[in-house]
Structure 1
Amino acid sequence: MTQTARGSVEIASARSETFQSIDPRTGEVVGEHPIHDAETVNSRVASTRKAQREWAELGFAGRKQHLDKWRKILAKRLDELAGVICAETGKPLDDARLELVLVLDHLHWAGANAEKVLKRRKVSSGVLMSNQVSTVEYLPFGVVGVIGPWNYPAFTPMGSIAYALAAGNGVVFKPSELTPGVGEWLVRTFAEAVPEYPVFQLITGFGETGAALCESGVDKVAFTGSTATGKRVMASCAQSLTPVLVECGGKDALIVDSDADLAAAADAAVWGAMSNAGQTCIGVERVYVVEAVAERFLEMVAERAKKLRPGAEPGAEFGPITMASQVDLIREHIDDAISGGGRAVVGGRDSVRPPFVEPVVLADVPEDSAAVAEETFGPTIVVQRVRDADEGIARANDSRYGLGGTVFSRARGMELARKLRSGMVAVNSVISFAGVPALPFGGVGDSGFGRIHGADGLREFARTQAVTRTKFKIPLNPMSFARPKSTVGTVVRLIRLMRGR
């Protein structure tokens, strides 16, 4: 498999036993890593499973203690890992550091909240089973396979890794072939912090390695990548009924109402669209702005976008397009938008200068254009005029994707947010939901299903077990061949009396 937008894994043949990771800014080789075959993958899953049993027996407090040790190492050596991220993705240092700030916060939340969310708790047994003590708890699956992306190579997979480990699972991690060094660094530092429990192991390689992980007997697979590859992962896992969590593409929209703070909305739109060179699954790709304020809003967006500069040097606002093949798709989307009658307000066709793409602001693009309908994954944004915010919501929802969304409105923010068909929404801010560890993260439609982060994320990596325990015998027991003939009739009369009104 080779990488497509957001780190999806596509089929390719691996012709050597090792492969190189490359700095996309310079083409320089920054690391060499093994291509693991199915035998190695199976071996690592087996060894992780063996270690996982003892890891689970540590209990929540014991696991938290070890995860805290790892977190302190990550915090102390944050700039070291940020350097690896920069070298493999090309993103500016501060962007990498910001990514790792989120990693630390989520790792802390997962360890601190796992017991409260997953521990055994009593539930009501109801009238018919009043002689039973009923409990539910969330037990670890066993071994979770995590297939990660390259755009946020630490933050995104750690949304699965940290929560799976806190829930008592072992993890076998396949990072993107574009960022294997980040995965190696994470696994190595975990081993430094927790040498006695090798429950977090690494596999590297291309698509064949990822496919082998899906077929290895892991108890769940968490995948981040393209919708097309997510479907292939699901098809592979379906052969063994292995459950999957799938976080795929997005075409996230920002709605600007007539009463919005336009300066804040313009700032959010440009950050959401251009940060990380637009290579953000929950980034802003479309804006629907109410006609009454559209011209002023567009001026503000253009003013901010014109100031941004991509590059490899420390002062650049964003870096290169990490995956070289994505440049062609970005160019195609820009061409299609302009050819269809859209306006290039900032930049245009000449903004594509591999490996960099300068900011591009497009306006009045046909809704059936690829730039509006498909994930671009570059520093581009399409601004569309609408009659009112409700029309903006309708257009935003007219998409096969449904990952994140943004609303700027003083009076109707929460109302409009609830109408968006998306897994997450930020009101009068952008992408803020990703920074809240207690909030679940995930999409609907072609953006995937399942949730990482928060209590939902912890439960995603645990299997539910319901238990009843008899406290005392009851005189009316309908679940016995020794029951009197009148028992069921008595139970029916009782339930009609209590539940038939």
Structure 2
Amino acid sequence: MTTAQSDPPARAARVVTDGLVERLTDGVIGGGRTACHSPFTGERLAELPEAAAEDVARAFALARAAQPAWAARDPRQRAAVLLRFHDLLLARQDEILDLVQMETGKARLHAHEEVQAVLVAARHYGRKAPAYLAPKRHTGVVPGLTRVRELRHPKGVIGHISPWNYPLELSAGDALPAFAAGNAVVMKPDTETALTALWARRLLIEAGLPAGLWQVVLGEGPVIGPEVIRHADYVTFTGSTRTGREVAQRAAARLIGASLELGGKNAMLVLDDADPDRAAEGAVRACFSSAGQLCVSVERLYVHEAVADAFLARFVERTRALRLGASLDYGTDLGSLTSQAQLDAVVRHVEDALVGGATLLAGGKPRPDLGPYFHEPTILEGVRPPMLVCEEETFGPVVSVYRVADEEEAIARANATPYGLNSSVWSGNARRARRVAARLRTGTVNINEGYAAAYGSAQSPMGGMGDSGLGRRHGAEGILKYTEAQTVAEQRLLPLAPSFGLDDRRYAALLNSSMKALKTLRFR
């Protein structure tokens, strides 16, 4: 594995200035002080305001004060803000790429994936939100006499708890449809990647979002998270399954809705008719993008024994050739893990597997010579229960390879997990691949791609089954979840009751005849 170097501390000093931090934290509520750090060096990037419980309550009060006027705007006016944000982000992406890299440690191309994802979401909801939210006519109980319209009203103030691994996409990307639907947002991003979320907030305000509409509160998750849920009208959360269960319980106690994207143990299936070279290239992206710190990245590879040797030879070769480093420019293939906790989890899983008899095909060790949290991309074979890496989510640059005898075994083993977020199928036969995909119990399936094809298709829903969560982002569901549906039914001319001298018996007989006629006429 080769290395690529630059000077992140010097670049950080030029980018994360006192003036930038002051501008980004303007209006952020919190009397305490906390800090974020760069994974490339472990050094402090900035000092930030830390909120207490009363600060969260104040943030919600400010958001509630700003929300009604925003909701009263025409949906097209709200959508226009998203389109202006799109253009600003496209023009100023170098600023946010630096911040994302410095806060997460990921390679620049992987940071660029976040920019692309947010651009797609801004464009999609900027164009489609008015249609998603438009009143819809439905057939009434008595066609022609009952007029029915479905209206969509904003929930109010959305409580959004976002993680550290994709700090732009999982903050701004999820907030955009909430704003388009007429809501305000109180967001608690992870403190270590808060500068990215704060930068996105500033840019959206520049695009025309009222400043009070997006409030950010910073602090420890166990302290601030419950307070956000306590005041919210709806909650969105991306993170671990364990914490997601706690969020769901707190939301249920208040009878408010929640959308949760949680953990995954995603599988890639390489069928016997797959191109080994193409599949190996795709596996490198699927397994090691953002150093494996991606909810939809692949951690399990099920490879048909007929192509396993050819696939593994190419996969191992490509993995060993990856360029690791702390460069803040393009040209590095793999960056750093984001924290000591993530590095410890990766090391624990790899060491446990090797002690248990697994075979190391590539990587396998930390790289402190590159930075405090670097770890080599690692391929393991011979993994089996009860090894930790076999069933637990690693969330790092580690993948386990399993040889399978046939398609049925691959499907069964891929589905043998409580998680159900993403999967990938590789085959030279598109019809066969689609048939296999339909049998996989995951919210998204990518054919001849690892994760980006499904995730980047913003018109289609994205989310998990089983222990991977509730609800969906993207598409109609990604915006309508932030609304309350209201049915307005207008009855004309005749009441829905006996009239014109009909008694109850004759009225019931008339209704029975009407039901038969409506079915014959194929009314729905």
Q: In structure 2, do the counterparts of structure 1 residues 144 and 478 end up closer, same or farther at CA, with 3 Å as the change threshold?
A: farther
Q: Match for residue 433 of structure 2?
A: 413
Within 5 Å, which residues of 2 pair with 1:78-477? Answer: 78-126=93-141, 128=142, 130-194=144-208, 196=210, 198-207=212-221, 208-216=223-231, 218-313=232-327, 314=329, 315-349=331-365, 354-411=372-429, 412-431=432-451, 432-473=453-494, 477=497
Between the aligned partners of 2:397 and 2:501, the Cα distance in structure 1 is 71
Secondary structure of the equivalent of 2:409?
A: helix
Report if the CA contact (8 A) 1:256-1:389 is conserved. Answer: no
Evaluate the alpha carbon distance shift between residue 274 and residue 421 of structure 1 in structure 2; reply closer, same or farther with a 3 A threshold: same
Aligned equivalents of 2:61, 2:400: Cα separation in 1: 48
Change (3 A) 1:349 1:312: closer
Structure 1 residues 491 and 192, CA, compared in 2 at 3 Å: closer, same or farther?
A: same
When normalised by structure 2's length, the TM-score is 0.88
Counterpart of 1:332 in structure 2: which amino acid? Answer: R
Conserved? CA contact 2:153–2:484, under 8 Å: yes
Cα distance in 1 for partners of 2:407, 2:179 equals 42
In the TM superposition, what is the alpha-carbon distance from 1:378 to its structure 2 partner? 0.9
RMSD: 2.2
TM-score, normalised with respect to structure 1: 0.91
Q: Map of 1:27-66 to 2, 5 A cutoff?
A: 27-66=42-81
Cα deviation for residue 49 of structure 1 reads: 1.5
1: CA distance, partners of 2:325 / 2:225:
32
For residues 38 and 239 of structure 1, the distance between their equivalents in structure 2, rounded to whole angstroms, comes to 19
CA positional deviation for 1:84: 1.1
* Residue 508 of structure 2 is aligned to residue 488 of structure 1: yes
For residues 441 and 157 of structure 2, the distance between their equivalents in structure 1, rounded to whole angstroms, comes to 33
8 A Cα contact 1:99 1:155, kept in partner: yes
Please state how far the C-alpha of 1:198 moved relative to its aligned partner.
Answer: 2.6
Aligned counterpart, 1:10: none
Query: Which whole-Å CA distance do the structure 1 matches of 2:517 and 2:459 have between them?
Result: 43
Corresponding letter in the other structure for 2:254: S
Give the match's secondary structure for 2:323: coil
Change (3 A) 1:129 1:271: same
Question: Once structures 1 and 2 are overlaid, which stretch shifts more, 363-372 or 74-83?
Answer: 363-372
- Matches of 2:344 and 2:66 in 1, distance apart? 45
Partner of 1:222: helix, strand, or coil? strand
Indicate the larger mover: 22-31 or 315-324: 315-324
The amino acid that maps onto 2:112 is R
CA distance change for structure 1 residues 359 and 494 in 2, over 3 Å: closer, same or farther? same
Q: Which runs of 5+ in 2 are unaligned?
A: 1-30
Residues 63 and 185, structure 2, Cα contact 8 Å, conserved in 1: yes
Q: Aligned-pair distance for 1:478?
A: 5.2
Instruction: Measure, in 1, the Cα distance between the counterparts of 2:366 and 2:166.
Output: 27
Separation of aligned partners in 1, 2:276 and 2:449: 12
Change beyond 3 A, Cα 1:425–1:42: same
2: CA distance, partners of 1:131 / 1:222: 41
User: How far 1:159 moved relative to its partner?
Assistant: 3.2
Q: Which runs of 5+ in 1 are unaligned?
A: 1-15
Instruction: Give the residue type in structure 1 aligned to 2:426.
Output: F
Amino acid at match of 2:83: D
SS of the residue aligned with 2:204?
A: helix
Cα distance change on mapping 1:195 and 1:393 into 2, 3 Å: closer
SS in 2 for 1:463: strand
CA offset at residue 454 of structure 1? 1.2
Distance 1:143 1:467 in 2: 24
**In the superposition, relative to structure 1, how do residues 33 and 469 fare at CA in structure 2: closer, same or farther (>3 Å)?**
same
For the Cα contact (< 8 Å) 1:280–1:377, is it kept in 2?
yes
Evaluate the alpha carbon distance shift between residue 347 and residue 172 of structure 1 in structure 2; reply closer, same or farther with a 3 A threshold. Answer: same
Percent of pairs with identical residues: 36
- Matched residue of 2:360: which SS? strand
Counterpart of 2:456, as a letter, is G
Name whichever of 169-178 and 315-324 sits farther off: 315-324
- How much has 1:372 moved relative to structure 2? 2.1
State how many pairs are aligned.
483
CA separation of 1:121/1:380 partners in 2, compared to 1, >3 Å: closer, same or farther? same
- What is the distance in 2 between the residues matched to 1:349 and 1:448? 32
> Aligned to 1:84, what secondary structure does the other structure show?
helix
| 2:94 counterpart letter in structure 1 | D
Retained in 2: the 8 A contact 1:150–1:175?
yes
* Deviation string, structure 1 residues 51-105 (Cα, Å, up to 9, x no partner): 1111111111111222222222222221111111111111122322231122112
Aligned partners of 2:424 and 2:445 also within 8 Å: yes
**Cα displacement (A) at 1:142:** 0.9
The aligned residue for residue 70 of structure 1 is 85
**Relative to 1, partners in 2 of residues 1:215 and 1:32: Cα closer, same or farther, differing over 3 Å?**
same
Displacement after TM superposition at 1:403 (Å): 0.3
Q: Deviations over 1:364-402 (max 9, x none)?
A: 211543212111111111110011122111101010110
Contact 1:190–1:200 under 8 Å retained in 2: no
Aligned counterparts of 1:405 and 1:481: Cα–Cα separation in 2: 64
Aligned amino acid, residue 216 of structure 2: L
> Aligned partner of 1:334: which letter?
V
Superposition deviation, residue 482 in structure 1: 9.2
SS at match of 1:241: coil
2: distance between equivalents of 1:98 and 1:123?
A: 40
